[in-house]
């Protein structure tokens, strides 16, 4: 086995090796795996992933619309793919929801129907990306010449920031979570998170569509209002669909 790795052949593509790096595929000369190699490679991948994602998350959180605009205009290498960020945020949000029992209830007499409704409600946060996409297309379809997929990039980056805002909102419950605190948090969180999310959308729209804030401030504000209305409508339809599904399962 040692002779296999000592041979001057790239074990990735089979090309002849004259240096430590393959001239055909660029891979470094492979060495036989040991515990140290596995540990070092795993650490390097993990460290790169964490650093890369954290830097990207911070950049997008400050300028979601600008990052989306740069990305669709060709700056792909400078930014992490929006779906990677969104999926990472969704995983963290689900973990926080599970850790804080945010969608649970202190009532031990809940029926099976209510339990099923709560289970389906865990995915209602995904409606936000649809609301951003619909609002951006309705308000800005003719501005900038962006197509539907480019609007989708904007919606993905924007929804990532919205999810991050919700994670931050829930983070105090990670320190101390009781049914009473969770219930109180849900009660007053409704009053300000809608404004926070609309503000994020307004900022993203203004940056992505290069709005002159002094002369055209009303345009992203109108887009954010559309986002809020569309999201409320989607939540209503989603709730009706969940109730129908739950009733069908119970029948």
What ranges do the domains of the chain cover? Answer: 63-250
Distances 188 to 80, 202, 215, 239 between C-alpha atoms, Å: 34, 23, 35, 21
Mean pLDDT along residues 148-152: 92
User: Do residues 10 and 22 touch, judged by C-beta distance below 8 A?
Assistant: yes
Structure tokens at 55: 């830097």
The region of weakest confidence among 41-50, 88-97, 168-177, 229-238 is 41-50
What is residue 109's predicted lDDT score, i.e. its pLDDT?
A: 47
Spatial distance between the Cα atoms of 169 and 165, rounded to a whole number of angstroms: 6
By residue count, the chain amounts to: 251
Q: pLDDT class for 12, splitting at 50, 70, 90?
A: confident
User: Do residues 155 and 133 touch, judged by C-beta distance below 8 A?
Assistant: yes
Provide the whole-model pTM.
Answer: 0.74
The region of weakest confidence among 8-12, 118-122, 136-140 is 118-122
**Does 36 have pLDDT greater than 60?**
no
Higher pLDDT, 212 or 114: 212
Higher pLDDT, 39 or 13: 13
Higher pLDDT, 2 or 71: 71
Spatial distance between the Cα atoms of 200 and 62, rounded to a whole number of angstroms: 10
**Does 46 have pLDDT greater than 50?**
no
Q: pLDDT class for 220, splitting at 50, 70, 90?
A: very high
């Amino acid at each position: 086995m040692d002779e296999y790795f000592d041979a001057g052949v790239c074990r990735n593509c089979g090309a002849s090796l004259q240096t430590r790096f393959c001239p055909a595929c660029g891979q470094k000369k492979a060495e036989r795996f040991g515990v140290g190699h596995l540990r070092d490679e795993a650490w390097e991948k993990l460290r790169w992933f964490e650093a890369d994602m954290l830097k990207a998350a911070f950049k997008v959180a400050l300028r979601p619309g600008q990052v989306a605009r740069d990305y669709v205009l060709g700056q792909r290498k400078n930014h992490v793919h929006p779906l990677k960020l969104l999926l990472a945020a969704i995983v963290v949000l689900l973990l926080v929801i599970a850790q804080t029992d945010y969608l649970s209830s202190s009532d031990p007499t809940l029926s099976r129907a209510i339990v099923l409704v709560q289970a389906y409600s865990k995915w209602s946060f995904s409606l936000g990306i649809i609301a951003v996409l619909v609002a951006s297309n309705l308000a800005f379809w003719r501005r900038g010449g962006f197509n539907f997929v480019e609007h989708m990039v904007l919606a993905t980056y924007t929804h990532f920031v919205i999810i991050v805002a919700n994670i931050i909102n829930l983070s105090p419950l990670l320190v101390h979570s009781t049914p009473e605190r969770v219930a109180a948090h849900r009660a007053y969180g409704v009053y300000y998170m809608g404004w926070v999310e609309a503000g994020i959308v307004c900022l993203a729209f203004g940056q992505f569509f290069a709005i002159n804030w002094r002369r055209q401030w009303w345009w992203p504000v109108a887009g954010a209002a559309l986002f809020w209305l569309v999201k409320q409508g989607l939540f209503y339809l989603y709730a009706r669909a969940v109730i129908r599904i739950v009733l069908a399962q119970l029948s």
